[in-house]
Amino acid sequence: MSDSIHLDVDTVDDEFEARGWSDGLPVVAPTRARVDAMLRCCDRAPDLELGTMPPRHGIVTPEILAINAVMAGCRPEYFPVVLAAVEAMLEPAFNLFAVQATTHPCAPCVIVNGPIARELGINARYGAFGPGARANATIGRAVRLILLNVGGAAAGVLDRSTQGQPAKYAFCIAENEAESPWPALHVERGFDSGHSTVTVTGAEGPHNLNDHVSDRADGILATLKGAMSDMGSNNAYLYGQPTIAFGPEHAAILAADGYSKDDIRRYVFDEVRLPRALWQRGGMAGMFPDLFPDEDMKPIIKCAEDLLVVVVGGFGRHSCWLPTFGDTTRAVTRLIARADGSALLSVRELL
């Protein structure tokens, strides 16, 4: 059972900020009643230990997650997504310690797939990465508050990110499966299309891929090649698993020209490369010399399979790519599940 304090209702935000318990925005006061309501959408015991969260190694329990989810403004039915996101981040392959503590600006990007994304109204269309949808905003914010209050990632303390990034406030989207010509991300990663998942990547904010004129795949691919094969991102130096989030219009053009997600991955592996002479001029040259392959051009991914491809957004000729921290953080996908491990088909099953 978590400890509590009594505060003047008019000073809750100031007190939480002063104690280092908030992200700087006003919070919903985590009263016992609100936290209990959140936990009604969780079939785990409130004090079940799910692990510890680095770098502070706070003990993760459904109750401490629910407190932070209340503060973020989550509706109780969002809680299974928050829980799955935390479970995914705690997988060793995600290397949360480094994602939290690095000077790089990465933040866990939460990508939700499956029917629960639609049930909760997680925005996958216009402005999915931006404001406007409570589910995206508050699930993403809950993850950040948990990283702060459980993981201890306060800026300049245990989060050493040189500049941070806006996505450290909230970074949650759904894939636009309805307007995608390709299999959904979770299906590609081995899950049933009728099940729901959360995928986390240690990502930078979205970098725009604007191509207004191409009506063939080669034009769109040339645009992304130009944007992605330059210095600056960690993937340019350290490989990793970046994501391309195609807008539905770009995706439709690529699919019409016969490109599958795997074809796009192979294109990126083969064509998005940095010449040795450029690589050696700056960046991290000399620090990890073994990472440059024998040939004269270095890819940004070690193999084609490492690229994540999703469809996100509404109409318009924009896509984006999300560079990541590098190869020492791997994308992790978790089923949104009941305590017994079976798939949760609808959050209504918990109500």
Subset of residues 266 to 305 that bind other proteins, contact rule: CB under 8 A: 284, 286-288
Residues 6+ apart with CB under 8 A from 203: 106, 107, 108, 109, 167, 171, 242, 243, 322, 323, 324, 325
Separation CA 301–CA 242 (nearest Å) = 8
Q: Counting contacts by CB under 8 A, is residue 315 touching other proteins?
A: no
Question: Would you state the structure tokens that stand for residue 70, as one six-digit string?
Answer: 């209340």
Q: Counting contacts by CB under 8 A, is residue 102 touching other proteins?
A: yes
CA atoms within 13 A on the CB side of 332: 20
Q: Counting contacts by CB under 8 A, is residue 6 touching other proteins?
A: yes
Q: How many residues bind other proteins (CB under 8 A)?
A: 47
Separation CA 299–CA 271 (nearest Å) = 8
From candidates 42, 64, 90, 311, binder to other proteins by CB under 8 A: 64
Q: How far lies 197's CA from each of 50, 174, 345, in Å?
A: 18, 10, 10
Q: Counting contacts by CB under 8 A, is residue 326 touching other proteins?
A: yes
Output 117 or 150, the one with its CB closest to other proteins: 150
Q: How far lies 192's CA from each of 117, 196, 198, 334, 336, in Å?
A: 14, 8, 13, 12, 12
From candidates 25, 98, 345, 350, binder to other proteins by CB under 8 A: 98
From candidates 125, 160, 189, 276, binder to other proteins by CB under 8 A: 160
Output 18 or 59, the one with its CB closest to other proteins: 59
- Beta strands (DSSP E) in 114-151 are none
Subset of residues 210 to 249 that bind other proteins, contact rule: CB under 8 A: 238
Region of 191-199, 205-213, 293-301, 323-331 interacting with other proteins (CB under 8 A) = 323-331
Separation CA 181–CA 178 (nearest Å) = 8
Separation CA 201–CA 108 (nearest Å) = 5
Output 196 or 328, the one with its CB closest to other proteins: 328
Asked whether 322 and 300 are in contact (CB, 8 A), the reply is no
From candidates 191, 300, 325, 336, binder to other proteins by CB under 8 A: 325
Q: Counting contacts by CB under 8 A, is residue 9 touching other proteins?
A: yes
Region of 7-15, 80-88, 184-192, 206-214 interacting with other proteins (CB under 8 A) = 7-15
Asked whether 3 and 38 are in contact (CB, 8 A), the reply is no
Q: Counting contacts by CB under 8 A, is residue 97 touching other proteins?
A: yes
Q: What is the DSSP letter of 204?
A: P
Output 95 or 196, the one with its CB closest to other proteins: 95
Asked whether 99 and 87 are in contact (CB, 8 A), the reply is no
Q: Counting contacts by CB under 8 A, is residue 2 touching other proteins?
A: yes
Output 8 or 340, the one with its CB closest to other proteins: 8
Q: Counting contacts by CB under 8 A, is residue 324 touching other proteins?
A: no
Residues lying near other proteins in the complex (CB under 8 A) are found at: 2-10, 12, 16, 21, 29-32, 35, 52-53, 56-61, 63-64, 67-68, 71, 95, 97-98, 102-103, 145, 149-150, 160, 238, 284, 286-288, 325-326, 328
